């Protein structure tokens, strides 16, 4: 069965916010990735001023709940508004389940990133459903995650 978590988006102060959340909940960050850590590509190069921003961070709150987040890049900052700065993140147990959830929930909505293999080893996609809710669907293939 899939797990569901909240994914928060910030405009440059993600690390500061997550340090605050960590001070309340405790724990450690299993992963902190910055946009500058991404492989560079000619299609969408990362601007120098965005390279230190957080691409992904997570903070386990319990066995079932993980608070996740990132900064927006300046390219997408115009769409950033407090109140629309979160997504529901679903972690599927298989590619089949991920595809099923993605195709079902995205029907009538707007796909912003189709399901695809990512450089970080996950099978991942994003969309806004027909009701305006942002979703992220993820499957971490155990075979791929062991090689990282």
Q: What is the pTM of this model?
A: 0.70
- Locate the DSSP E strands across the chain: 3-10, 31-34, 54-60, 66-71, 86-91, 110-117, 122-128, 134-140
List pLDDT tens digits, range 7-42.
Answer: 988 888 899 999 999 998 899 999 999 988 887 766
> So what's the pLDDT on residue 82?
59
CATH topology of domain 3-145: 2,3-Dihydroxybiphenyl 1,2-Dioxygenase; domain 1 (3.10.180)
Q: Residue 15: how many CB atoms within 10 A of its CB?
A: 18
Short-list 147, 135, 105, 140, CA closest to 6: 135
Indicate whether 77 pLDDT > 60. no
> So what's the pLDDT on residue 79?
61
List pLDDT tens digits, range 102-146.
Answer: 999 999 999 999 999 998 889 999 998 887 888 999 999 887 765
Beta-carbon contacts of 132 under 8 Å, excluding residues fewer than 6 positions away, are: none
> So what's the pLDDT on residue 137?
94
Short-list 38, 44, 7, CA closest to 136: 7
Indicate whether 81 pLDDT > 80. no
> So what's the pLDDT on residue 31?
92
> So what's the pLDDT on residue 103?
95
CB burial readout 42-64, b (16+ within 10 A) else e: eeeebeeebeebbbbbbbbbeee
> So what's the pLDDT on residue 124?
95
> So what's the pLDDT on residue 78?
60
Short-list 10, 111, 128, CA closest to 67: 10
What tokens does 10 get?
């910030």
41: left (phi over 0), alpha (psi -120 to 50) or beta: beta
CA atoms of 88 and 62, how far apart (whole Å): 17
């Amino acid at each position: 069965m899939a797990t569901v978590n909240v994914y928060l988006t910030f405009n440059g102060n993600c690390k500061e916010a997550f340090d605050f959340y960590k001070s309340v909940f405790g724990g450690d960050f299993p992963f902190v990735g910055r946009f500058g850590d991404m492989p560079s590509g000619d299609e969408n190069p990362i601007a120098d001023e965005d390279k230190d921003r957080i691409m992904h961070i997570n903070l386990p709150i319990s066995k079932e709940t993980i608070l996740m987040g990132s900064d927006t890049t300046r390219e997408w900052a115009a769409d950033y508004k407090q109140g629309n700065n979160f997504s529901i993140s679903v972690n599927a147990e298989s590619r089949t389940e991920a595809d099923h959830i993605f195709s079902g929930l995205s029907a009538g909505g707007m796909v912003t990133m189709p399901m695809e293999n990512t450089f970080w080893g996950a099978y991942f996609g994003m969309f806004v459903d027909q009701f305006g809710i942002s979703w992220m669907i993820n499957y971490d293939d155990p075979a791929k995650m062991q090689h990282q």
